Amino acid sequence: MNYVLISPYYPQNFQRFSIELAKQGITVLGIGQEPYEQLDQPLKEALTEYFRVDDLENLDEVKRAVAFLFYKHGPIDRIESHNEYWLELDAALRDQFNVFGPKTEELTKTKFKSQMKAYFKKAAVPVVPGQVVKQKTEVAKAVKTLGLPLIAKPDNGVGAAATYKLTHQADVETFVQDWDESTAYFLEKFVSSDKVCTYDGLVDAEGKVVFATSLIYKEPPMVTLKNKSDFTYYITKEVEPKLAAYGQKIVEAFGMKERFFHIEFFCDKDDYVAIEYNNRPAGAFALDVYNFAHSINLFEQYARLVAGHGFEPSAYASQYSLAVTRRDYRHYHFSEEEILTRYSQELKAKLRMPAAFAALQGDSFYVLNSDTEEDILDMMEAIQRLAQD
């Protein structure tokens, strides 16, 4: 089997995809921008061949790279990056070379928030009313139909970027003034819940969920982005039954196969409201945090699925796992040395955030485990407590 990995070097923790795929006897072929000499030695050993391109944004150049690898190694069976930024590139390459996985047409249901909403409704999962606007002249009518407060975000966009909260008419006027109409916007009713959770996991080649977990954000990502606060979430021991039921229905409705998913929900009293379906794992070090929480190696388990060897569940009990960041320029109540000493038994990893994520999420990243949610919340508060508190 020939597996083409787009950007195998970055992000660094995703190098483990190449390593685990190679361990399963799969021929791993990398395409990236970094010079071969820059690659870490374990990655070099995992790659049968690495083709350097000048610009991964140049579709024609990347197509030529895949064509060369096809010519030299035979038919390509998979093309993946597992990275939000390259999902459209992955799909375009699958179109060109007729490779298993979501094609460009299929990707529209996970790219456009308006289409996601339709699939959530198909799955009979709660959603909030929303409407697409493509021109400024359509905004007033949408606001009148939906009513304030609203959230306005690009219909085709990633995360909380370029998002507006429309509480008053003045906010609407600011949005209209700022918006250049180059991209359609999706307006939806604002949900007052300050709790966002997820249903995350992995499906096999038949679309069956073989692994599922859930994380709870300390605050909605949009708030973290706006306030530049420390990025924090924790993995729960088990997925709450109603959330699991909704998540299963959504996964079935979207019909994706042999890939990770990351579905966000508002936790609204005793119910959940679907927000967004992401056709890849959660970003940064989330896969590593899942691994710590559930004593599993998901990079390996994904590789086993691709190789046709089946998924092996963990034999160990799950724990709560806290993922928390701190920013270099902030002064905290406890020094890092004090934190590392105080939680030496709970600490699983201390990492530096990649530059692409640090500005939004923080600089230092800590992962800690515990058997109780109470301990997790106490550690969260202590690690992020500022010096003046």
- 57 and 16, same domain (yes or no): yes
Same structural domain, 75 and 17: yes
Do 142 and 218 share a domain, yes or no? Answer: no
DSSP 8-state symbol, 112: B
Question: Residue 71: which CATH number?
Answer: 3.40.50.20
Token pair belonging to 41:
């030695």
Residue 309 and residue 345 share a domain: yes
* Residue pLDDT tens, the chain, 389 long: 999 999 999 999 999 999 999 999 999 999 999 999 999 999 999 999 999 999 999 999 999 999 999 999 999 999 999 999 999 999 999 999 999 999 999 999 999 999 999 999 999 999 999 999 999 999 999 999 999 999 999 998 655 558 899 999 999 999 999 999 999 999 999 988 889 999 999 999 999 999 999 999 999 887 887 788 899 999 999 999 999 999 999 999 999 999 999 999 999 888 999 999 999 999 889 999 999 999 999 999 999 999 999 999 999 999 999 999 999 999 999 999 999 999 999 999 999 988 778 878 899 999 999 999 999 999 999 999 999 85
Q: Classify strands 2-6 and 27-32 as parallel, antiparallel or unpaired.
A: parallel
Q: What is the DSSP string of 233-262?
A: EEE-SS--HHHHHHHHHHHHHHT--SEEEE
Are residue 182 and residue 228 in the same domain, yes or no?
no
Residue 144 placed within a domain: yes
Domain co-membership, 217 together with 273: yes
Residue 116 inside a domain? The answer is no
Name the pTM for this structure.
0.93
Domain assignment present for residue 359? The answer is yes
82 shares its domain with 147: no
- Position 70, amino acid: F
* Residue 329 CB partners (closer than 8 Å, separation 6+): none
| Euclidean distance between the first and the last CA atom of the chain, given in angstroms as a whole number | 57
Q: Is residue 84 part of a domain?
A: yes
Within this chain, do residues 206 and 314 fall inside the same structural domain, yes or no? Answer: yes
Q: Is the residue at 8 inside a domain?
A: yes
In this structure, the answer to whether residues 336 and 230 fall within a common structural domain is: yes
CB 42 within 8 A of CB 13: no
Q: Which of residues 145, 168, 189 is at a domain's end?
A: 189
Tokens (6 digits) for 375: 């301990």
3-class SS of residue 357: helix
Our count of domains for the chain comes to: 3
164 within a domain of the structure (yes/no)? yes
Same domain as 315, residue 372 = yes
Distance of CA 91 to the CA centre of its chain: 17
Write the CATH number for 292. Answer: 3.30.470.20
Please report the pLDDT score of residue 159 as a whole number.
52
324 within 8 A of 375, measured Cβ to Cβ: no
The residue from 144, 174, 189 where one domain ends is 189
299 located within any domain: yes
214 with 333, same domain: the answer is: yes
Residue 315's SS3 state is: coil
One-letter amino acid identity for 292? F
CATH number, residue 182: 3.30.1490.20
Structural domain span for residue 183: 129-189
Q: State whether 306 and 252 are in the same domain.
A: yes
In this prediction, residue 158 carries a pLDDT of 59
H helix or E strand, kind and range, residue 210:
strand 209-213
